[in-house]
Amino acid sequence: MMKYNFPKDFWWGSAVSGPQTEGVFPGDNKGDSTWDYWYKQKPELFFDQVGPEKTSYTYLRFKEDVQLLKETGHNSFRTSIQWSRLIPTGDGEVNQDAVRFYNEYIDELIANDIEPFINLYHFDMPMSLMEKGGWESRATVEAYVRYAKICFELFGDRVKKWFTNNEPIVPVEGGYLYQFHYPAIVDLRKAIQVGYHENLASAMAISAYRQLNLDGEIGIILNLTPSYPRDVNNPEDVKASIICDAFFNRSFLDPAIKGTFPQELIDIVKELGMLPEYEANDLDIIKENTVELLGVNYYHPRRVKAKETPKNPLIPMPDDYFDMYDMPNKKMNPYRGWEIYERGVYDLLINLRDNYGNIPCFISENGMGVENEARFIKEDGSIEDDYRIDFVAGHLRYVHDALQEGSNVKGYHMWTAIDNWSWTNAYKNRYGFVSVDIDNEGKRTIKKSGHWFKTVADNNGFDN
């Protein structure tokens, strides 16, 4: 039997976001985000027509939720401030009800020896700014930097771990390429501009943070999906995987850590005549304001092969440069349609060690969504989610291997603590250590995986 031991100061915890957990309540003075608006316009797009007002009610139940974090072994926890809650119009007055809530939430975490990791943007553009272009507009970049500075000034005396953005590639993919986030259009030129503005906004927020001389760290959370070629001995497959990686990983990873964009991506964008609009000193801002800490969200790999299918000459897309490869006999999570490949987390961490200066990092999301989890409820009300324990343990073994080989990985945060609302999927798939019964006033129950995770955290490791 092998023992997997982790450092005594390892970060054990989980991640959530404000828009997926807080809920919307009369008198909270929250403004609409794009999700609030989209649900009002097209509720049929959302699973069981459950919208963002029915998330897990953390706005009212944060003290109970913090106790559940403690009972499941957390010494750290990531959530986000909702831009549309703190500044309802995105660029106007600050909502004092939101200030009170976030102050009390942060203080409650600290009082229970759980370090708050606070993210500033998690797909929740204020609708009033979206109506003016959202991330397509330079004005949104300026509004975001103002919002970030307000957050630093309000909460930076206690919050020591800040993150500018969570998975910034997702608004690009979902909103402007593959139509699973608002505004759900297909426009590569706009997608490139959105991605550029998100990179610039992150760098400008980092600059603003450092100018305040606060004694914390600031980073970014990226969903890194390793791009594996179908055949490592086929140069065309390898080239396709490199280009795929440049589009979906390095488009944010390289600017965040190296301060530059990947040359493969620059060459393609130039060839297409789709360089984003930018100002003279933007690239210097990005170069001079790189991150100190990287969060790595890892769920599944991407399998890639050389382009074999025809491309649409009228609608340029990243997919013009590669095809997805359906590898036979892969292990799958059938509920999400995602491959389970535990070694991928090791490969990501070793890549960061070897090619990105071994930047301090942590696994900021990793999780297994399961549909209809209620079928695993026992007569005593407990939930036997052994599949989640197996999933987490399998990934932690590879995190441990990377640690043993010199990776600068500082912690592991699971997605998620308490079952939450997940965009158009709503509550279709459950991810939490703790279940939420949305039909029974949000009743919480710790699952078997939550009790297991506490023993792992308490012992800084586990037996194989």
Domain coverage including residue 69: 3-463
- For residue 203, the model assigns a pLDDT of 99
Closest CA to 35 of 27, 45, 25: 45
Would you place residue 81 in the very low, low, confident or very high pLDDT band (cuts 50, 70, 90)? very high
pLDDT tens track for 10-42: 999 999 999 999 999 999 999 999 999 999 999
Query: Percent of the chain at pLDDT above 90?
Result: 94
Single pTM value for the model: 0.97
Mean pLDDT on 205-234: 98
- For residue 440, the model assigns a pLDDT of 84
Q: Give the alpha-carbon dihedral of 294, 423, 261, 188, to 10 degrees.
A: 180
Residue 365 bears catalytic tag? yes
Residue 379 above 80 pLDDT? Answer: no
The Cα–Cα gap between 360 and 27 comes to 41
- For residue 376, the model assigns a pLDDT of 83
Q: Cα-atom radius of gyration of the chain, to the nearest Å?
A: 21
- Cα 156 to Cα 82, 95, 162, 248, 355, distances in angstroms: 16, 18, 9, 31, 31
Annotated catalytic residue, options 167, 173, 365, 373:
365
Six token digits for residue 110: 């600290």
Closest CA to 194 of 132, 284, 276: 276
Strands 76-80 and 434-437: unpaired
Mean pLDDT on 431-455: 93
Domain count, the chain: 1
Would you say the C-alpha torsion 173, 198, 361, 98 has a positive or negative sign?
negative
Helix 448-459, helix 58-71: angle, nearest 10: 60
pLDDT tens track for 135-165: 999 999 999 999 999 999 999 999 999 999 9
- For residue 381, the model assigns a pLDDT of 73
Would you place residue 321 in the very low, low, confident or very high pLDDT band (cuts 50, 70, 90)? very high
The Cα–Cα gap between 256 and 359 comes to 11
User: What are phi and psi for residue 406, nearest 5 degrees?
Assistant: 95, 5
List, in sequence order, the alpha helices (H) in 136-262.
138-155, 169-176, 188-211, 235-245, 251-257
- For residue 98, the model assigns a pLDDT of 98
User: What are phi and psi for residue 220, nearest 5 degrees?
Assistant: -145, 155
Q: Which long-range contacts (CB under 8 A, 24 or more apart) does 102-106 make?
A: 102/154, 102/155, 103/154, 103/155, 104/62, 105/58, 105/62, 105/66, 105/79, 106/155, 106/158, 106/159
Residue 329 above 90 pLDDT? Answer: yes
Please count the residues of the chain: 464
- For residue 303, the model assigns a pLDDT of 98
pLDDT tens track for 50-79: 999 989 899 999 999 999 999 999 999 999
Residue 380 above 90 pLDDT? Answer: no
DSSP 10-50: -EEEEE--HHHHS---TTS-PPPBHHHHHHHH-GGGSGGG-
Residues 6+ apart with CB under 8 A from 326: 303
Domain of 328, CATH number, reads 3.20.20.80
The Cα–Cα gap between 401 and 383 comes to 30
Is residue 70 left, alpha or beta, with left meaning phi > 0 and alpha meaning psi from -120 to 50? Answer: alpha
- For residue 438, the model assigns a pLDDT of 84
- For residue 141, the model assigns a pLDDT of 98
Mean pLDDT on 413-437: 96
Count of CA atoms in the C-beta half-sphere (13 A) of 154 = 23
% helix, strand, coil for the chain, step of 5 = 45, 15, 40
- For residue 318, the model assigns a pLDDT of 98
Would you place residue 442 in the very low, low, confident or very high pLDDT band (cuts 50, 70, 90)? confident
